[in-house]
């Protein structure tokens, strides 16, 4: 079975692995067809991903086909096309019992804490499969990316008509934009990348696209938002400087959501934070219901992720293509691996 292993930072190794055993109770054996490349994979390649050990098989944005199911599995059949919810939770800790499996105290994420989908076949808990009879494998692989934005926007409780700033227009930022607009927000995007800014200008719900290098950001935000600063700010960069600067962007009484993360500390001016009574939220992964909702929205045509995919490779090409994709000049928005 073909497998691509990230042996150490910057070094992929093609490998042949034995095929998985037959699925046990509650499991499904799946054939991987698509693997989306995201910031987590790029950070792991660069040696900057928290909670990560090497060697590791990357890949948690997956479009798969069910090959076999174990005893007791219901609602999933051989031949089903599915998106994989890659968050493996214990189901018994305080977070799981309170409906927050994304915060499980024993959480393991495919492709991060345990081996992921850059291989031909794998075993997964059947309860982590979300099927669709209509979506392509490309679309199914991008459901997890969308789920990150869906959950982050739900955390912020966006109101119709409110001004929303999204900092960082990579794939995660795009997913935040989609759901902030879906909630009725008037979205402003801040990004240093020219191509990403141009892409965002075409998106429904986006009322302003800003370059942080073109003058004071708060002044530009007030102009784009109609005089006031935005009341909801999402930072999807995972960049410490960006995240700390973002404390200056919300209006008084507003809230800020950190969608990205990095290895280190975030600092801010406490009097300024208290004076505006800001609400600071972290957003981690997503919930099972987010996957169900997203598949329905894509099936209805209310979300279209096809333009996101700018680069492709087959599994055998990953070791050669990946170092090119991570270069700043590559203009990658979303790379898709065909297995």
Of the pLDDT bands very low, low, confident and very high (cuts 50, 70, 90), residue 77 is very high
Q: Is the pLDDT of residue 272 over 90?
A: yes
Encode pLDDT of 219-261 as tens digits: 999 999 999 999 999 999 989 999 999 999 999 999 999 998 8
Cα–Cα distances in angstroms (integers) from residue 327 to residues 191, 319, 333, in the given order: 17, 14, 12
Encode pLDDT of 9-67 as tens digits: 999 999 999 999 999 999 999 999 999 998 889 989 998 887 789 999 999 999 999 99
pLDDT of residue 52: 86
Of the pLDDT bands very low, low, confident and very high (cuts 50, 70, 90), residue 312 is very high
Encode pLDDT of 281-301 as tens digits: 999 999 999 999 999 999 999
Mean pLDDT, the chain, rounded, equals: 95
- In the three-class reduction of DSSP (H, G, I as helix; E, B as strand; rest coil), residue 32 is classed as strand
pLDDT of residue 330: 83
Please answer whether residues 233 and 258 qualify as being in contact, where contact means their C-beta atoms are separated by less than 8 angstroms: no
pLDDT of residue 243: 96
pLDDT of residue 155: 96
Secondary-structure percent of the chain, ordered helix, strand, coil, rounded to 5: 30, 25, 40
Q: Is the pLDDT of residue 328 over 90?
A: no
Please answer whether residues 251 and 275 qualify as being in contact, where contact means their C-beta atoms are separated by less than 8 angstroms: no
Where does 183-304 have alpha helices with state H?
194-201, 217-225, 240-245, 270-275, 288-299
Q: How many CB atoms lie within 10 A of CB 77?
A: 11
pLDDT of residue 253: 97
Q: Domains in the chain, start-ordered, CATH in brackets?
A: 2-142+305-338 (3.90.180.10), 149-282 (3.40.50.720)
Q: Is the pLDDT of residue 145 over 90?
A: yes
pLDDT of residue 4: 96
Q: Is the pLDDT of residue 262 over 90?
A: no
Q: Cα 10 vs. chain centroid, distance in angstroms?
A: 22
């Amino acid at each position: 079975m073909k497998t691509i292993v990230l042996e150490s930072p910057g070094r992929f190794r093609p490998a042949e692995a034995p095929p998985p055993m037959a699925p046990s109770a509650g499991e499904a054996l799946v054939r991987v067809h698509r693997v989306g490349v995201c910031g987590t994979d790029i950070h792991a390649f660069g040696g900057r991903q928290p909670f990560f050990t090497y060697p590791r098989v990357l890949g948690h944005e997956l479009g798969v086909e069910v090959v076999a199911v174990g005893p007791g599995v219901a609602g999933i059949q051989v031949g089903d096309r599915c998106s994989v919810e890659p968050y493996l939770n214990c189901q018994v800790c305080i977070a799981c019992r309170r409906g927050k499996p994304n915060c499980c105290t024993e959480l393991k994420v495919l492709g991060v804490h345990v081996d992921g989908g850059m291989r031909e076949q794998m075993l997964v808990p059947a309860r982590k499969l979300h099927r669709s009879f209509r979506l392509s494998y490309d679309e199914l692989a991008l459901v997890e990316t969308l789920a990150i934005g869906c959950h982050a926007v739900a955390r912020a409780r966006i109101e119709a008509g409110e001004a929303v700033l999204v900092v960082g227009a990579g794939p995660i930022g795009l997913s935040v934009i989609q759901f902030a607009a879906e909630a009725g927000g008037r979205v402003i995007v801040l990004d240093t990348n020219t191509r990403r800014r141009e892409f965002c200008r075409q998106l429904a719900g986006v009322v302003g696209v800003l370059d942080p290098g073109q003058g004071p950001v708060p002044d530009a935000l007030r102009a784009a938002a109609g005089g006031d600063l935005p009341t909801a700010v999402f930072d999807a960069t995972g960049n410490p400087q960006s995240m700390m600067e973002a404390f200056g962007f919300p209006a008084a009484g507003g809230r800020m959501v950190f969608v990205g993360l990095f290895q280190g500390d975030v600092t801010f001016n406490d009097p300024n934070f208290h004076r505006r009574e800001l609400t600071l939220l972290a957003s981690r992964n997503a919930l099972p219901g987010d996957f169900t909702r997203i598949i329905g929205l894509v099936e209805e045509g209310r979300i279209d992720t096809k333009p996101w995919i700018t680069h492709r490779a087959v599994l055998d090409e990953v070791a050669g293509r990946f170092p090119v994709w991570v270069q700043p000049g590559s203009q990658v928005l979303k790379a898709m691996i065909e297995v």
